[in-house]
Structure 1
Amino acid sequence: MSGANRGALPPLEHVDIVKCGITGKWLCLMLQHAHALKELSLHRCNQITGLLIGEEENSQPSLMSSPEAPSLGYPGRDELLNDEQSNRRWLLPLSLGELDIGHVDSLKVLQPCFLMNLTGLKKLRVFDNPNLTSLQLHFCTALQELRIEDCELLNSLEGLESLGSLRLLRAQRCLGGHGENGSCILPQSLEELYISRYSQETLRPCFPRNLTCLKRLDASETSSLKYLALESCTALEELRVVCCESLAAIGGSEPHRSIRHLEVRRCPSLPACLPASLEGLERLEIDDPSFLTTLFCKHLTSLQSLELSWCKSEVERLTDEQDRALQLLTSLQELRFWFCDNLIDFPTGLHSLPSLKRLEIVFCKSIVKLPEKGLPPSLEELDITGCSVELAQQCRILVLESNLKVKFCSF
């Protein structure tokens, strides 16, 4: 390719490089000729350590202008690549819309850059780069989705405040260090946040000028997390907390009023500490009936769906307190018991739920009979799947004796 022929690869839109010995110098030159490139994936390319945004594009050498032979695998112009002590800047085509970088053991510092600071990059995924310590995002101003996975040494992100278009952030570990008291300064535009393996005891999402669009927050596999502070999450609609063994409190009163969907699993310290300000909650998913207390349930005046699944082996039936709390859910329309292997009885007060329309019992093999006091008169659908033969037989009789829509399947 001649230096003057900058459009040598005009139709090229997608590049996927896997297990290749290409160096950063050669990749830099190649990208200059791919003006239409939209997606770039790099997997296990360990010779790539960085790309420099140094000279203007019209002064860069061509692939064939190097004084060294092409068979050596790289041009001889050192200015294309910074030294080991410098930040690794990656010069990328302006047309690039999606970038995946994974399994690059040599990568330590990553800073995507674009000529004239113009960028169309909307999706960035950085995964399984075990030595990556710094991800600098100052020039990715058009980014809408950012996913970071399995980069164990990456503890913080730089330039998040520059991402004014970011809608989704999925990150492992690397939200720490942005402020005091566990505060993480996030873009105001962010709508979905998924965080796992978080390293601090407090997670406090914060936003510029206290304005936020965050609608979904998912925290999982974070054994160190003790306190989840939601004071700034005033638009939050969905909250999922899974496998946070030390989490003991969710703080902030006003944000809870906007939450519509709450899922809490494998958080043994949390049942006694759920906030009472959840009047707007419409869907609740739990794995521990201990959440069902009269103090908590009496506030759930809008709850329409409740799911109890994968509950602990010692749970055989609801306690009297839990049964009374369940009866307070007068707006409940759907009730599900999934994979509760040792549950042997339906809730005693099931028949008194005035709004219940659908009941699902899925793989609860220890339940052998329908409730003694019958089912709610409001019930329209009953789904019995993977349960005992005895329960399935009673459902067959129920089909003949009522107008209830019954689905049953035993294994």
Structure 2
Amino acid sequence: MDASPSIISLPSLKELSFGGCNVGVLKRFVNLTSVTALVIEDVAGLTWLSHGFTSSLIKLEMKSCKELMYLWQDRDVIRDLTCLKSLVVQDCPGLVSLAAGEEDTELPVKLETIRVWSCDNLEKLPSKMHALSSLRDLTIKCPKLVSFPETGIPTSVITLRITECKMLQSLPIIGGLSSHPEEPSSSSSSRNNHVDMMSRLQVLTISGCDSLPASPFSEGGFLPATLRELHIMNCRGVESLAEINVDRLQSLQEIDISNCEKLRSLPQDLHTLSHLTSLQLWECPTLELECFPPLPPSISKLHLWGCPKIKALPDQLHRLTCLRDLKISGCESITRFPDGGLPPQLQKLTVYKCGNMKQPVREWLTPLLTSLEWLLIDGSSMGGVREEEDLLLPLPSSLLRLQICGMDNMERLSSSLPPSLRILWISGCPKLRELPPDGLPPSLETLRIDGPSIMKERCMEGTGCYWPLIREIPFVWV
């Protein structure tokens, strides 16, 4: 933008976005009393906002302002922000606080969303954040943040995301230290009850917080009864989740734990979570389970990925009548499915890189799976079938998508493919040379063959001997 000293008066302007300039450009704007949305990006020399176009402002975004130290220095500016609902501060490495003298400075009272993202030098948050009774969505990504304010975060928060706060040593308290300020020594039990009555928190995501203690939910690190989703990811120090009191979490629907390399225990009594629909455990290499804890009948998704020390699946798996999506990958200690097999209503099944599976595939992949639509299976998980030249699978007639991979010795796909099949994906089968004797079903919409194989040559457009048989398929990748 032109940096000439002319004044710009735009009294009717509703939205303003500018950047790639110096702070002198900002000072040229006057009479912006109608602006409701303001985006300031990459403005050199800007250390705080002192401009007076705040009375109608609803949305404020500050991005990539490298010299920004705090948002406001003048309390009068904050008091004028009577309509501000959304505040985003992103990639501002010089930011040390949201407001100068923040210990006794209040934030705009109508804020509903606060997102402070990649502000590398921010070490603390405003102590009066707990007073923001309209706050619904709070996202913090600040690697030097050690703790949340002792006064806690508002009970009005519905979604809380804490990510890449690598110095964070404790989780925030919801609603303050006690139900009444004059009772600082109130018991943990009464404090929990107070939070349960007041809290609205439904989604909690904790990611990349490496300094959290081994048991982050002990010693007052409680969760409110309103919680529906719990996501814990990439937290290197977390070892135990057994301290989570699931008796109080009867609204919990999703548990997602991933890349916690020291995790050794799960919450106890998972089967009592009557609304739990999804449990995902990804890349937890030290999580050792001799017997998988029972799951509630409500579970519809179970994903175990990269958990080599899990030795068994839940007993009575076939009685989980809501289970639709089962994924087992990188679980080398699992040798067989539980007695009773798989639930007949299963729709998606992945069995991949389970190299010690001893149970023959014909015992668990049966025609009784009349609802199965997606199947991914590899040679290491098939109980010796990978050594055979012919692959003869009992494929359910309901199958829509079939992915076969890592069959080193398979030469012929001898199974009759279901008439409903739409996608066939073959990868890592170097010796495969023949399609099923009765051909491909007319329903097939996608055929994909990855990796070197004789079959790729036979399916090449124009020259392959199978080309006349597959040319009518809408999507072919070979």
The offset of 1:380, in angstroms, is: 1.6
1:257 correspondence with 2:294: no
Distance (Å, rounded) in 2 between the aligned partners of 1:371 and 1:112: 66
In the alignment, structure 2 segments of 5+ residues that lack a partner are: 1-29, 31-50, 175-191, 450-477
Alignment of 1:117-196 (within 5 A): 117-127=131-141, 129-136=142-149, 138-160=152-174, 162=195, 164-172=199-207, 173=209, 174=212, 176-179=215-218, 185-196=222-233
Q: SS at 1:234's partner residue?
A: coil
The offset of 1:345, in angstroms, is: 6.5
Whether the aligned pair in 2 keeps the contact of 1:250 and 1:274 (CA below 8 Å) is no
Summarize deviations over 1:329-380 as a string: whole Å, max 9, x none: 64451342278799687996622x55543341266585765543x236x652
Matched residue, 1:15: 60
Matched residue, 1:69: none
Distance (Å, rounded) in 1 between the aligned partners of 2:363 and 2:78: 66
Q: Mark the CA change 1:31 to 1:206 in structure 2 (over 3 Å): closer, same or farther.
A: same
1:303 correspondence with 2:303: no
Q: Mark the CA change 1:159 to 1:394 in structure 2 (over 3 Å): closer, same or farther.
A: same
Summarize deviations over 1:206-240 as a string: whole Å, max 9, x none: 45862421111110111111111242533211011
Q: SS at 1:308's partner residue?
A: strand
In the alignment, structure 1 segments of 5+ residues that lack a partner are: 53-73, 75-79, 83-88
Q: SS at 2:78's partner residue?
A: helix
Equivalent position to 1:384, from 399, 424, 436 = 424
Alignment of 1:200-211 (within 5 A): 200-204=238-242, 206=244, 210-211=248-249
1:398 correspondence with 2:398: no
Distance (Å, rounded) in 2 between the aligned partners of 1:142 and 1:307: 40
Distance (Å, rounded) in 1 between the aligned partners of 2:289 and 2:79: 52
The offset of 1:156, in angstroms, is: 1.6
Q: SS at 1:258's partner residue?
A: coil
Distance (Å, rounded) in 1 between the aligned partners of 2:422 and 2:436: 9
Q: SS at 2:364's partner residue?
A: helix
Q: SS at 1:147's partner residue?
A: strand
Equivalent position to 2:261, from 223, 231, 244 = 223
1:333 correspondence with 2:372: yes
Distance (Å, rounded) in 2 between the aligned partners of 1:252 and 1:293: 13
Q: Mark the CA change 1:25 to 1:356 in structure 2 (over 3 Å): closer, same or farther.
A: closer
Matched residue, 1:67: none
Alignment of 1:33-44 (within 5 A): 33-44=80-91
1:98 correspondence with 2:140: no
Whether the aligned pair in 2 keeps the contact of 1:293 and 1:322 (CA below 8 Å) is no
Q: Mark the CA change 1:392 to 1:269 in structure 2 (over 3 Å): closer, same or farther.
A: same
Distance (Å, rounded) in 1 between the aligned partners of 2:169 and 2:445: 52
The offset of 1:261, in angstroms, is: 0.5
Q: Mark the CA change 1:363 to 1:194 in structure 2 (over 3 Å): closer, same or farther.
A: same
Matched residue, 1:108: 123
Whether the aligned pair in 1 keeps the contact of 2:416 and 2:436 (CA below 8 Å) is no
Equivalent position to 2:288, from 248, 255, 265 = 248
Q: What code does the residue aligned with 2:57 have?
A: L
Matched residue, 1:62: none
Distance (Å, rounded) in 1 between the aligned partners of 2:339 and 2:221: 29
Whether the aligned pair in 2 keeps the contact of 1:253 and 1:277 (CA below 8 Å) is no
Equivalent position to 2:73, from 18, 26, 38 = 26
Whether the aligned pair in 1 keeps the contact of 2:397 and 2:420 (CA below 8 Å) is no
Q: Mark the CA change 1:114 to 1:283 in structure 2 (over 3 Å): closer, same or farther.
A: closer
RMSD of Structure 2 on Structure 1 (CA): 4.0
Distance (Å, rounded) in 2 between the aligned partners of 1:386 and 1:349: 15
Q: Mark the CA change 1:322 to 1:292 in structure 2 (over 3 Å): closer, same or farther.
A: farther
User: Which range moved further: 144-153 or 327-336?
Assistant: 327-336
Matched residue, 1:66: none
The offset of 1:95, in angstroms, is: 2.0
Distance (Å, rounded) in 1 between the aligned partners of 2:342 and 2:112: 46
Q: Whose strand fraction is larger, Structure 1's or Structure 2's?
A: 1
Alignment of 1:67-106 (within 5 A): 80-82=101-103, 91-106=106-121
Q: What code does the residue aligned with 2:283 have?
A: C
User: Which range moved further: 210-219 or 137-146?
Assistant: 137-146
The offset of 1:23, in angstroms, is: 3.2
* TM-score (normalised: structure 2): 0.63
Distance (Å, rounded) in 2 between the aligned partners of 1:328 and 1:12: 62
